[in-house]
Amino acid sequence: MGAADAEDDERPVHRVYVSEFFIGRFPVTNDEYARFIQATGHPAPVVRGLPLITLGGRESLFRDTAAAYEWQGDLPPAGHGSHPVVLVRYDDALAYCHWLSTTISRAVRLPTEAEWEKAARAGTEGLRYPWGQDIDASRGNFLIDPATRSQRGTRSTGTYAPNAYGLYDVCGNVWEWVSDWYSADYYGLGDMRDPKGPQTGGNMRLVRGGSWVNDDVSMLRCAYRHRVPPDTYAYSIGFRIVCGV
């Protein structure tokens, strides 16, 4: 895990043992999330109380960009059924996992950071991006030109080629919630077998993988750890699920 030539919280590079697990080939889509909403009555993805990330004059941009992803009742935006669901908080992702666990009688959850990074690198050591060492605009959905932001957005899952594990959209399209609380020094102190993050709650959560709004391609690296306040939700954040073998 980690990277020796990047952010401080990605160091030290260290080896961990991760038990076998299954992980979704795609992020959870709007169509999949709709079945959850319709079965449970859970609140649909819309702009609610604004998250802390909108402070500093970003409220208008947040609302304008989020409008295309807001649901109408229990129906996702037209034409977005196969796109990753967004505008979901961490707690929404947990609620989906709980519902699906009950539905299929199998424990479903969010991946840990270690599981997510293992899956993203697809069995290799030190891979910078899921497809190789160099950024490649043909392999993922990210913002090549900031001036085109208003013309871009999420794309259908499976639009781009998968990594060597057969996983799609691991980096790009949407950030993905992981289960860990954030700690800047956890890599130097954490467990070496199936690490699950700090034992006590912190004040930041983690998303991984970068998204369609990111023009800083360093954020799409397999090792990049993006910390966000617990109340965060956005038009660029979704999630992927895992379950044990």
Q: Which residues contact 74 (CB under 8 A, 6 or more apart)?
A: 34, 37, 38, 44
For the beta sheet containing 205-208, the strands, ordered from the edge strand earlier in sequence to the opposite edge, are: 226-228, 205-208, 175-181, 237-239
Q: pLDDT tens digits for 178-193? A: 999 999 999 988 889 9
Q: Assign domain 8-244 to its CATH architecture.
A: Alpha-Beta Complex (3.90)
The pLDDT-based confidence of 153 (bands split at 50, 70, 90) is: very high
Q: What is the mean pLDDT of the chain?
A: 95
| Domain residue ranges in the chain | 8-244
- Indicate if the pLDDT at residue 81 is higher than 70: yes
pLDDT value at 155 more than 70:
yes
d(C-alpha 75, C-alpha 224), whole Å: 33
Kindly report, residue by residue over 117-137, the tens digit of the pLDDT.
Answer: 999 999 898 899 999 999 999
**Neighbour-count burial for 51-90, b at 16+ CB within 10 Å, e otherwise:** beebeeeeeeebeebbeebbbeebebbeebbbbbbbbbbb
For residue 57, the model assigns a pLDDT of 86
pLDDT tens for each residue of 173-231: 999 999 999 999 999 888 899 999 997 767 899 999 999 999 999 999 999 999 999 89
State residue 20's pLDDT score.
96
**Percent of the chain residues past pLDDT 70, beyond the cut:** 99
Q: How confident is the model at residue 56 (pLDDT cuts 50, 70, 90)?
A: confident
Summarize the confidence of residues 55-83 as an average pLDDT: 95
Beta-strand relationship, 242-244 and 237-239: unpaired
